[in-house]
Chain A
Amino acid sequence: MQLGFLVDLHLCMGCKGCEIACKVENEVPLSTWRLRVKYVDVGTFPETKRTFTPLRCNHCENAPCERICPVSALHYIENGIVNIDKERCIGCAGCVMACPYGAIYIDPETQTADKCTYCAHRIASSMMPACVVACPVEANIFGDLEDPTSNISKYIQRHAGNVQVRKPEKGTNPHHYYVGGGNVTLNPLASRREEGFNLFNNITTLPLGGHH
């Protein structure tokens, strides 16, 4: 079994229901995210549109976070999920430095690394991940990539030629796919939000990192 995700960006309408469901299900603290929906405004007025891209851990086949973890806190489980043992994590942040997708954070409450686990605890009870359940348009498709009859396998076959992964050049072989993605949605450098162009003057953020 090799579990994977596919998001059809044509269907996603940016309701952020998946974000909230994930935060509630996994009790993700403020300033940290296991799943977020990035939006990028494209075009020049009046020819504009807003794109939405749900971003989560890619559960890579060749996961840099698993490789760099000094204590195997990040490890593969038999269904292909890259899981994390928070009791073993020493908080070195090596995984944060290694993940090319910025999908791992240091939980400010437990002071350990954390990330999307495809809701491994729900899957163990034969339930779908919380974000899949919350999505009103079934843009999140989850299933076994090795089963040709699964919804995700059929979707990939049906959209052959229009299925993308993030940063394929990194050689991580993500098990997270997009349909209808492009440079603007999947390449963070193509849609950088410059500092100083905010509605509010006094923007603060919650502390995330190490010792500056």
Chain B
Amino acid sequence: MRFRPTIFVQIWLPFTFMIVLVLGVLAFYYPQRQRQVLSGFKKEELAQSAKMVALGVQLSIDSDDFPGLQKTMSTIRESQRLDYISMVVSDSISGDAIFETFPSDFKLQLNAIDSIQYLNVKAPFSSSIFKGYIIMGIEQSKVFKNIDALNRPMMVFLLFIAVLTMLVVYLIADKITSPISWVQNFANQLQKGDYSTDDRLEARAVELVSLNDSLQDLAKTLQQQRKDNQLLTTGLEEKIKERTVELDRALIDLNDAQKISHLGSFEYYMYLDHWNGSDNLFQILGIDKENYVRTYASFLSLLHPEDRESIHQSFEQGRLTGQELNFECRLTRPSDDKEIWVNCRAKYFSDKEGRSSKMSGVIQDISERKQVEEELNILSLVAKKTSNAVIITNLHKEIQWVNESVLEITGYSREEIIGNTPKMFQFEKTDPGEIARINNAIQNRQPVWAELINRSKSGHEYWLSINIVPLKDEKGVLKGFMAVETDISERKKLEAQREEYVKLLEQSKQEIEKINEELEEKVREKTKNIEHLALFPEQNPNPVVELNFDLRELSYSNPAARTILPQFLELNFDAQLLSLNVTSLDNVLAANKSEFIIGELIFEVNLFLLEDKNILRAYLHNITQRKQQESQLAALVAQLQSAETELLEKKSELEKSLQELTLAQSEIISKERLSTLGMLIAGIAHEINTPLGAIKASGENLKYLFTEGVMKLIGDMNPEALNLSIQLYEKSSMHSLSTSEERLRTQELTQDMEGMDFPLRYKQKMARMLVQMGIFRMDEQLKEWMHHPFAESIFQLGLNFVLILRSIVTTTASSDQGGKVVKALNSFAHGNVGSEFTTFDLKESIDTVITILWNKIKQGSRVINAIPEDIQCFALADELSQVWTNLMNNALQASGNKCLITFEYADDGVNHIITVGNDGPPIPSEIIEKIFEPFFTTKARGEGTGLGLNIVRKIIEKHKGTIICQSEDSLTKFIVSLPKSN
């Protein structure tokens, strides 16, 4: 017999189940019915017995026939297997009374006789004296004990029938379904392409034989179609080959394109954890296609460690959401350990169940682009951050981009500059010749360098060294011009000074040259005379002497020599030669033009050897005056050089002094803040001490309540009382009352307890505890708890719980208050020299200052901070805090800490306008002009430094803002304007 799962499941199994189900229902229903019948019969029997007993009771009372009742009871007990029998008698006086019979320990509950376990009957009786009823019962299990045994043969019979039915049904199903299965198999063969015919089907059913014939015909038709298809397929295959060749060509082109664009494609199969890619991809990644294990983990390992986590998260997110991936990351190529940048774009594909199963995408090597970007970033950073001004214009000279330095130097905003031409910075002093030269160079697309004087928005004049270069793209097409400008105002200033000195020097030189020329002229005239006089030494006004080498003696001296040089004439020959700087005949010419000094006179020596060369004639020309003038000139030059050196040193000193001055100014601001803080510190200490005191008191209170008020009470109480204390605590509230209110509430609550049997003092005590717990109404539960033996302890423990909670709340609130003051103090005192511009919340900043000054404010002043929420200010936060502090402190001091201070805000589009007003004493009009001056104060000695408002103005000016003061009647306003832009 063949096993056919389909038939088994569809026909035989359900049918068999149905039969077994029917038999099962019968098997259940039949015994149940038997039980019902037996139960009815037994109940009837019991009812008869109960009636008999009831009758016996009735007779025994009405007719005094107790022996009859005794007989009846004996009969009942002997004949019935009762589990219990009871008599219930009722009269108007005693109500129901139960007389038990047996078993003696059977406790009959009139209202809950168990009708499931017992079969119960009830029979009433009514005598002239009593009424009542008899109730008796027997256990159902005893009654039905034999039913199961009786039904066992029936169950075996039913089981036999079930098995028999299953077999019969199976045989019939098999007989019917065998040919159907054969036809089904034949159809399956056809479906699989096996068109061989088969005539094995027996003629069991006409319809099936007919169906078989149809299938045979179908097989033949399909065989014919297969032949036709083969013919078609041959043609298609050729076409496919052609297309394949085209595709291969396209693939090669694609690979080439990928190589050119440094691109590689990939596919990742998630279920397999395997990825595949184009050849170019492996080249980009620098891995061996054949030997590399291509998993997700191996790909991640290629990534730069810093990028790995973020890329993994992107993959995960994409996998879950199906979102397209597009990211850039670094990876290290295993082939050459080179780090490259890649751009990855990928898309997820889902399976039928909607889960991401595959990912396809491309990876492009963007290292070159990244390098260029980095270079551009660096260049951009250089252009932005350089102290030189950088301006980029288009071909029409319209400014396209400027860096921060341009804004600083010119004072214009970026919006004002962009789109304008550099002409906006020029004015009448700007050299038109230089401008023309620059324009000419620009027209010729040539770089140009120039120095120009320009004017800023505020009218300040400044010198610039401008270097203009044409900007060309990679193809060499001109895109615009870039001007790099350096502020050379200082250098120009120095140059001007130096020119002035040079001019002076030149003048001095000219004067000297003039003197020289005059002297030369004189010398020339004198020389002429000398030449003339040389022939006539006797008439020469200058000394002339002749020394004879043969005789080794002074052979001649003219009258001037004799007059001027008597000491020389008295010398011997060698000494005279030495005086004339002549050591031998050979060095006569070398000694020529040397100087001859005698006394205070200086002579220039002119030596000549006469005819036979044995006589040396010396003409001595007095140059004492010329020497003196030359000495004076040298001293003047040295003086000028010294002056220039001194000038440079002074410039350096001045720059240093300027830096020190800036630092000193910041320190003064900082010191002023600390000075203000010093004056406020006592008040702040009080503000901190108050919460500290509260915390300490709460702590001590908590310690006492915990040890004395909770632990001791808990030790004396049972768990139930403890539970009631907790329930009482849960009823409590955190109302805090004044003493008079507490007294009043206690009286009301005591009145609520009226009618309760307690002494008045006890009630008052309990009421006070309840009021302290924040419970102001008596409810039924509270009244019930007051009768508890531990009532007083319960209430006291509940109160102690409430007091502990209040102490904790007080501690927390005090900590918050203290923390707020310390935070404000820290924020205020933190400011130091060299702080930076930051963006901060204006309202919050003013609130901090209010906290610092709170000790003074609370003495009778009021502060309204009407600054809107979320006003962000870009400024020196700490220094602005000092502004608000000084303004508020001044108002408080002037009004004796009794005034109304207001902070209001307006926005004119460009500036934050903050108005700090107070209704203290007005500032007299005669001093209002002086209040911002340094060391001006109206306060008593020691109360103020006189620097407060001066520092306020300096801080505001540091922010390029303004501050003005208006004081009329009883309203004084300080209007602070701060630029909004960075």
Question: Do A and B interact with each other, yes or no?
Answer: no
